[in-house]
Amino acid sequence: MEIERQKLRVHAPLEQPKSPEELRARQLKARDMLRGDLTGEDLDNYVEERVATTTLEKVLNSARAHSIFPATFGLACCAIEMMSTVSPRYDIARFGAEAFRASPRQADLLILSGRVSIKMAPVVRRIYDQMLEPKWAISMGACSSSGGMFQNYAVVQGADKFMPIDVHVPGCPPRPEALIYGFTKLQQMIMGNADPGWRSRYNAHGTEEWARGGPASKPSEEALEAYAKAREVLGA
């Protein structure tokens, strides 16, 4: 079968009416269309101006990204900030995620808000496993992302050691705005437009990572070697 591709939007996308008269003209045209009075080229133009095409996958992903149900689950101080995201001041409902679910079986986002103790890790993992696919996880705060200030035997040094994490939100605690920002990054990821890391965005190569001995200190041989490898990976 031969498929003929045609550019649909030959006309300019529909804009806001510029005057009440133009609005009225459009209303009359819409009325004609509903009555079946619009035919031929007029009808073609009318439809082409108002139809947007997309793929089923994109629609599904958009629906998923804008109707996330986070699990009602908090671990430590960060959870207080997480709770406030549903308050009117921050209002995460604007992004379609205000319905925190009390059961992991009804949730598709786990926000790890706080430090994860070694004892708690299997519990967290079980909750994550009980969630239905597709599911996502945000690691909120320094503690859940890296152990934070608790560099000891009782706290897991980074939640991605025992479960997959999609977005890390830095801070101690991150403000609700930071969590919402992380959440919007997750939405972009779900819709297939994951934000490139800051390295690719700013064309950075990791020079800020070497331990500085003073204002005039230079990176060690090992650090220079590591940067060279990083540049190779980034194709820079």
Q: Which residues bind ligand SF4 (CB under 6 A)?
A: 76-78, 114-115, 141-143, 148, 172-173
For ligand SF4, which is the closer residue by CB, 76 or 137? 76
Q: Which residue lies nearer to ligand SF4 by CB, 104 or 114?
A: 114
DSSP 141: H
| CB 173, min distance to ligand SF4, A | 3
In the bound complex, what is the minimum distance in angstroms from residue 103's beta carbon to ligand SF4?
24
Pick the closer one to ligand SF4 by CB: 148 or 176.
148
Nearest to 202 by CA among 236, 173, 226: 236
> Smallest distance from the beta carbon of 79 to ligand SF4, in angstroms?
8
> Which of 38/169 has CB closer to ligand SF4?
169
How do beta strands 167-169 and 109-113 pair?
Answer: unpaired
Choose between 139 and 187: whose C-beta lies nearer to ligand SF4: 139
Q: Which CB sits closer to ligand SF4, 104 or 173?
A: 173
- Considering the complex, what minimum distance in angstroms separates the CB of residue 169 from ligand SF4? 10
CA distances from 126 to 17, 153, 156, 162, 168 (A): 54, 21, 16, 11, 20
Give the nearest distance from C-beta 189 to ligand SF4 in angstroms: 23
d(CA 190, CA 63): 10
Q: What are the b/e assignments for 28-61, b being 16+ CB within 10 Å?
A: eeeeebeeeebeeeeeeebeeeeeeeeeeeeeeb
Alpha helices in the chain (DSSP H): 20-35, 40-50, 56-65, 78-84, 121-130, 141-146, 176-190, 198-202, 221-234
- What is the smallest separation between the CB atom of 138 and ligand SF4, expressed in angstroms? 13
